Structure 1
Amino acid sequence: MQSPVAVQTADGFEESVPAPESLRPWIAEVGRIPVLTHLPTHFTHVPQAVTTLVLRTEPSGRRDALVVGPRTRATYAGAKEPAGCLRLRLAPGAVRPLFGVAATDLTNRVLRLADMPGPAAELAREIIEMDLGDIVLFLESTLPQVLSESPTRREHRRLLDSAVAAIDGDAAPLREVATRLAVSERQLRNLFTAGVGVSPKHYARITRVRQVIDAAGNTPWSDIAVATGYYDQSHLTADFRSLMGVTPDRFFKGKLPAPTACQSVTTLAG
């Protein structure tokens, strides 16, 4: 049985709520992280298979609007200075309507919202000047006016929603999910990669590792492996180490990889 320490993750500082119904076609969740006065020496960014619009505010008042793509591996960062942020997690299939690119173009990248080619970039200047509490209300009134989608794109988003729900709910294999949705495996894989940013298989791996982190406590690893869909404990350990860079035992004992610099902002051409 493991005795985990309080590993500091970026998500652990966040308070999140579902997005308002009017934003659900594009934004699934709204998270807020307050300005932290007592910074941890280092913290973990757990892999996450979603694209996030991050509105970051420094104590000086300086603001950034960033687009953070899906993260396929964990990173370990050292905190440099206090900052608070609003994090808007996109729904499956929402990247192209908002930002004008496929989600896979953003995977493991951070870009400035103002540099994106899609309609959301036109809102960057207004968003940066707003109080964080006003941004969601502004998007509720604005996004439905600036976004238009074809019936085909709406159907693709519906398929992605159903596929994500199936993988999240019962870890169904791709073949079974495709059969349920009456599409080919190849079509579903292509839709998933373009609309989510990772393959269905990698999405399932990230989901399971996040479930392991949430479930860790005084429960044997073998029981957690079964509960989270692994064949056995050795498969859990191998997958965790592949995505987190360290075994579960070392992770929860606080024996983490050395912190590295925060991910740099790039451009689509970079």
Structure 2
Amino acid sequence: MLPPTGRPMRFVTYAPPPPLGRFVRLLWYYAAPELPDLLERVLPTGAMSLLINLAEDELRWYEAAPATPAGATAATAATAAARCHRLSGIAVCGAHAEHFAIDTAEQRAIVGAELTPGGASPFFGPDTEPLSGAHVSLDALWGREAALVRERVLEARTPDARLRALEAALTARLLRRPARPLARDPAVDFALAAFADPSRATTVADVTGQLGMSSKRFIRSFTEQVGLTPKRYCRVQRFQQAISAIARDERISWAGVAAACGYYDQAHFIHDFRAFAGLTPTEYVARRRERNHVPLDG
């Protein structure tokens, strides 16, 4: 989950080198002096994140509303996502394939780590499927260490120092158990690379055939390590490809986006987009503030 943007703010990112970089794609710091008090829909990326709220010792999220009915107002959509869940100030957002909402007023100062697909096992154990679509206070997984990590990040005085403090904590966790191999599962890595290749439409059957694995075994292994089934992961990545295509084009051809991203037709594209975003593509374009964040109340 990346922070809301488009407002006076400071946004700093850092891609850690190996060995941590094999498991953590990006560390980021976001700060803004003032943010409006509204709900903002976060669209699914398929990635798992660790979040630390530096402004208060709490993180809040709101349940996803159903896809917005045709003609519904923004107020109706906001009301539908009104149930609030409260976590500690350091928490994990599991790989998700559904949108949810955040309270932007609490996002005044926040540090995050976006994990690579399949990169969660050194930090949370070999089976991350139970975290799929979940939001969990980190102390439920790490005990007292979670609060200590937040304290170390809070003690750092600059954005860069805060990112380095989080990097050090994650690296220490990564290297703590020498018996645990630091290598990623080669079968899952192969599948992720194949699914990411835009030059070919790779199916689960293609991957299992090339790996020489049974479909059942591959799906179980992939889901345990990535947090989503291969099919659902591919659908989310195709949705994200569409989001990227929309961001690139000033004059959007919906039929062109659908074809370029591998949808059967424009109707299939719109149906899938609404399933993940809760909005039609045209509603998304009209209301987005940042590629994966859409305000719910205005």
Coarse TM-score class (shorter-chain normalised): 0.7 to 0.9
Distance 2:117 2:95 in 1: 11
Q: Please name the residue that 1:110 is paired with.
A: 135
The code of the aligned residue for 2:244 comes to D
Shift of 1:32: 2.4
- The 5 A counterparts of 1:150-189 are 150=180, 154=183, 157-170=185-198, 171-189=201-219
Q: Please name the residue that 1:5 is paired with.
A: none
Instruction: Identify the match of residue 45 of structure 1 among 36, 42, 45.
Output: 42
User: 1:51, 1:103 within 8 Å by CA — same for their partners in 2?
Assistant: no
Shift of 1:144: 4.2
Shift of 1:244: 1.2
The code of the aligned residue for 1:164 comes to L
Q: Please name the residue that 2:79 is paired with.
A: none
User: 1:53, 1:67 within 8 Å by CA — same for their partners in 2?
Assistant: yes
Shift of 1:143: 3.0
Q: Please name the residue that 1:228 is paired with.
A: 261
- The 5 A counterparts of 1:26-175 are 26-39=23-36, 41-58=38-55, 64-100=89-125, 102-116=127-141, 121=143, 123-130=145-152, 131=156, 132-139=162-169, 142-150=172-180, 154=183, 157-170=185-198, 171-175=201-205
TM-score (norm 2): 0.71
Distance 2:188 2:39 in 1: 35
Per-residue CA deviations over 1:127-176 (Å, capped at 9, x if unaligned) read: 1112223324423652343134556x946x22212211211223411111
Change in CA separation of 1:83 and 1:235 when aligned onto 2, cut-off 3 Å: same
Q: Please name the residue that 1:262 is paired with.
A: none
Distance 1:140 1:99 in 2: 11
Change in CA separation of 1:237 and 1:10 when aligned onto 2, cut-off 3 Å: farther
Distance 2:128 2:5 in 1: 25
Shift of 1:179: 2.1
Shift of 1:241: 0.9
User: 1:93, 1:196 within 8 Å by CA — same for their partners in 2?
Assistant: yes
The code of the aligned residue for 2:275 comes to S
**Structure 2 regions of 5+ residues with no counterpart?**
60-87, 157-161, 289-293
Q: More deviation in 120-129 or 223-232?
A: 120-129
TM-score (norm 1): 0.78
Mapped pair 1:241 → 2:266: no
Distance 1:16 1:121 in 2: 27
**Structure 1 regions of 5+ residues with no counterpart?**
1-8, 260-270
RMSD: 3.0
